Every structure is written in structure tokens, then in C-alpha cells.
Chains A and B, each alone.
Chain A
Amino acid sequence: GENVEQHPSTLSVQEGDSAVIKCTYSDSASNYFPWYKQELGKGPQLIIDIRSNVGEKKDQRIAVTLNKTAKHFSLHITETQPEDSAVYFCAALNQAGTALIFGKGTTLSVSS
């Protein structure tokens, strides 16, 4: 079935360092890849997304890259801050275009 693998499951960085989270997807027909941030006790919130017609997208300290040939995409956070500490989920739209398939999440801890 359709699957999204996400690595690492936990990531600890020092404030100011960069963080990279990687995901691979199984369905080559997927064409939409969002990233969500979930803070403790809250619902996931979209932070950035990318469609298959572009290879990279940036929004201030956050960027996402997509390699369709290899079927993987990554989230890059630069100059990390303690408030970036959260669980991050990647997702890919399923082949039918009806639902998102989520990775299992990465817990990012940024220490000051």
C-alpha cells in the first residue's frame, strides 16, 4: 500500500544549528507534499508544502526540497530556536488524490 517513511524519529540540536528531516514515499503518482508542526496538546499546523512541479520552496528559515526521481523530500530548518521544538510530520497525497498519508513524525528538540 501507499507508505511514507520519515527519519529520524528524534532529533536534538543546539540553538542556531540547522535541522533536516527526510521522508520517502512509495507512490510515484503523489504530487503534493505538506509538512506539519505539532506542539504539545495541539493539532498539527501546516508550515510549508510543495507540489511536484517544483524542486524547492523556501519560507524564511524553513525550506522543503523534493526529488521526484528518488521519491524523497526533506524539511530544512536553519538557525533553529527553542520555539522550533515540536513534532514534525511529513505527508504525501495518495494516488487517488483523496487523502494524505502521514509519516510517523520526528520529535525535534532545540536546546539553548
Chain B
Amino acid sequence: NAGVTQTPKFQVLKTGQSMTLQCAQDMNHNSMYWYRQDPGMGLRLIYYSASEGTTDKGEVPNGYNVSRLNKREFSLRLESAAPSQTSVYFCASSGVQAGTQYFGPGTRLLVL
């Protein structure tokens, strides 16, 4: 039982490049989330998916898109990366929308 897994662990991009961050959970959770963590800013919600087939914007959605591929997987895409998107990205899941969230190990992204 791996919990929440994220790939890649670390990525360097050039401005304007695109990439997809992958997240998967094996806890049969309905809800999944993407956060970004910046120094002194805590964790800010980018997008979430309350259930398979639905996605909604969080606090900082600009520059990102998401796909809830199936119940297990929730991906985050940067279409044209910008230096302001340099951050650590965390995926989380919860069994119910208002329940305990379990976090993955994070993806460290550097945009040059």
C-alpha cells in the first residue's frame, strides 16, 4: 500500500516548456488535490477533484490544467512554464471531500 505517489521527484524546465506532473493513490479515495508550496506561503490549492469526472479551481489555478484520468490518477499540466511556477508541488487525496487529506512526497520544479 504505497498511499499517494508522485512523479517525477524533481524537474528542471526552461521558460515556455510544458510538462505534466503525475499523481496516483491506491487508497480508493474519491477526492484528490494539487497544492503548491512556496517559502513563507504555506500550501495553496491549485485544483481539486471531488470525484472521478469532476475538477474545480482552487486558490491559484492560473497557468495550470488538470485531468482526473480515473479514480486513482490526477495529473497537473503546465502548458507554458514560467519562472513564477518554480515551486514544490504536492498531490493529496481524501476518502471524502471534507475528510483527512493524505499527501504525496512532492515534485520539486525549477523553471529557468
Contacts and interface: CB of A to CB of B under 8 A. Distances in A.
Contact of B56 (A34, A36, A98): A98
Interface string B86-112: 000010000001101111111000000
Interface residues of B, number: 22
Interface in A39-71: 42-46, 49
B41 A43 contact: no
B84 to A, nearest CB: 18
Interface string A1-18: 000001001000000000
A43 B105 contact: yes
B22 to A, nearest CB: 15
B42 interface: yes
Nearest to B44: A102
A100 interface: yes
A102 B103 contact: no
A97 interface: yes
A25 to B, nearest CB: 13
Contact of B100 (A6, A34, A103): A34
Nearest to A49: B100
Contacts of B56: 98
Contact of B97 (A49, A89, A98, A102): A98
A44 B41 contact: no
Nearest to A34: B100
Contacts of B40: 9, 104-105
Interface of B: 4, 33, 40-45, 48, 50, 56, 58, 90, 97-98, 100-106
13 contacts: A34-B100, A34-B101, A36-B103, A42-B106, A43-B105, A44-B103, A45-B103, A46-B100, A46-B101, A46-B102, A98-B48, A102-B44, A105-B42
Top-8 shortest CB links A-B: A43-B103, A104-B42, A102-B42, A102-B43, A97-B98, A44-B103, A43-B105, A99-B45
Interface of A: 6, 9, 31-32, 34, 36, 42-46, 49, 89, 93, 97-100, 102-105
